Amino acid sequence: MAGPLLETKLHVPVPRRGLVTRPRLSDRLRQADEQTLILVSAPAGFGKTTVLTEWLAEAPANGRSVAWLSLDQRDNDPTLFWTYLVAALDRVSNGLGAKALAVRSPQSSTEAFLTTLINELQAVPNRLILVLDDYHVIENQDVQEGLAFLIENLPAQLQLVIASRADPALPLPRLRSRGRLLEIRAADLRFTPEEASAYFNGVMGLSLTAQDIAALEARAEGWIAAFQLAALSMQGRDDVAGFIAGFAGDDRYIVDYLAEEVLLRQPDDVRNFLLQTSILNRLNGPLCDAVTGQNTGKAMLESIDRGNLFVVPLDDRRWWYRYHHLFADVLRARLMDEQPGRISELHERASIWHEHNGDLPEAIRHTMAGKDFERAADLIELAIPAMRKDRQDATLSRWLQALPGELIQARPGLGVAYAGALLASGELTGVDARLKEAEQWLGTTAEDGDGGNLTSSIEIYRAAQALAVGDTAGAMTHATTALGLVGKNDHLERGAASGLLALGHWTNGELGVAHGLWSDSYSNLERAGHHSDMLGCSIALADIRITQGRLRDAMAIYERGLEVAGRHPAQMLRGTADMHVGMSMLLLERGELEVARQHLLTSQELGEDAALPQNPYRSRVAVARVLQAEGDVGGALEQLDEAERLYVGDFFPEVHPVAAVRAQMWISHGRTSDALRWARERGISDEDELSYLNEFEHITLARALLARHGAEPSEDSVGRAIALLGRLLRAAEEGGRTGTVVELLVLMALAHQKEADDGGALAALQRAVALAEPGGYVSVFVDEGEAMAALLEALAKQGSASDYVDRLLESVGTETHETEAQGARTRSTRGRGTPAQQRLIEPLSERELQVLRLLSSELDGPDIARELLVSLNTLRTHTKNIYAKLGANNRRSAVRRAEELDLLSRSRDER
Do the Cβ atoms of 873 and 638 come closer than 8 Å? no
Do the Cβ atoms of 683 and 649 come closer than 8 Å? no
pLDDT of residue 881: 81
4 closest CA partner among 532, 362, 306: 362
Give the per-residue SS3 of 626-689.
HHHHCCCHHHHHHHHHHHHHHCCCCCCCCCCCHHHHHHHHHHHCCCHHHHHHHHHHHCCCCCCC
Q: What is the DSSP string of 15-65?
A: PPTTPPP-HHHHHHHHT-TT-SEEEEE--TTS-HHHHHHHHHTTTGGGTEE
pLDDT of residue 445: 60
* Separation CA 748–CA 60 (nearest Å): 70
pLDDT of residue 909: 46
Q: Which CATH architecture has domain 7-189?
A: 3-Layer(aba) Sandwich (3.40)
115 closest CA partner among 867, 643, 862: 862
The secondary element (H helix, E strand) that includes residue 334 is helix 325-338
* Separation CA 517–CA 534 (nearest Å): 13
pLDDT of residue 773: 94
Task: Find the angle CA(702)-CA(705)-CA(710) to the nearest 5 degrees.
Answer: 140
pLDDT of residue 3: 55
pLDDT of residue 539: 94
SS3 548: coil
| pLDDT, averaged in runs of 10, over the chain (911 residues) | 74 78 87 88 82 89 90 90 93 88 72 90 90 92 92 91 88 86 88 84 81 78 74 74 64 58 79 93 94 92 76 80 78 88 95 94 94 94 78 83 89 90 81 89 62 83 90 95 91 92 95 97 90 89 97 96 83 82 95 91 72 76 92 88 83 91 93 94 94 96 90 76 96 96 97 93 95 94 92 85 86 59 42 51 77 85 77 74 80 82 62 43
SS3 39: strand
- Which residues in 195-344 belong to E strands, given as ranges? 311-313, 321-323
59 closest CA partner among 96, 15, 103: 15
Q: Which amino acid is at 850?
A: Q
697 closest CA partner among 733, 739, 741, 728: 728
pLDDT of residue 326: 64
pLDDT of residue 328: 80
* Separation CA 564–CA 562 (nearest Å): 5
Dihedral, CA atoms, 113, 116, 119, 120, nearest 10 degrees? -100
CATH topology of domain 841-910: Arc Repressor Mutant, subunit A (1.10.10)
555 closest CA partner among 535, 579, 578: 579
Supply the CATH classification number for the domain 342-445. Answer: 1.25.40
pLDDT digits (tens, 9 = 90+) for 208-244: 888 888 887 776 666 777 787 777 777 767 777 777 7
604 closest CA partner among 247, 869, 208: 869
How many secondary structure helices (H) and strands (E) does the chain include?
A: 49, 7
Q: How big, in percent rounded to 5, are the helix, strand and coil portions of the chain?
A: 70, 5, 25
* Separation CA 277–CA 310 (nearest Å): 13
Task: Mention every residue, 6+ apart, whose C-beta is less than 8 A from residue 780.
Answer: 589, 742, 743, 746, 768, 772
Phi/psi of residue 66, nearest 5 degrees: -120, 125
* Separation CA 349–CA 368 (nearest Å): 13
Render the burial of 329-358: b for 16+ CB within 10 Å, e for the rest.
bbbeebbeeeeeeebeebbbbbbbbbbeee
Domain boundaries, the chain: 7-189, 193-250, 266-338, 342-445, 841-910
Dihedral, CA atoms, 33, 38, 42, 46, nearest 10 degrees? 40
575 closest CA partner among 618, 535, 608: 535
pLDDT of residue 907: 46
Total-model pTM: 0.64
pLDDT of residue 608: 54
Strand-pairing partners, residue 162, are 39, 132
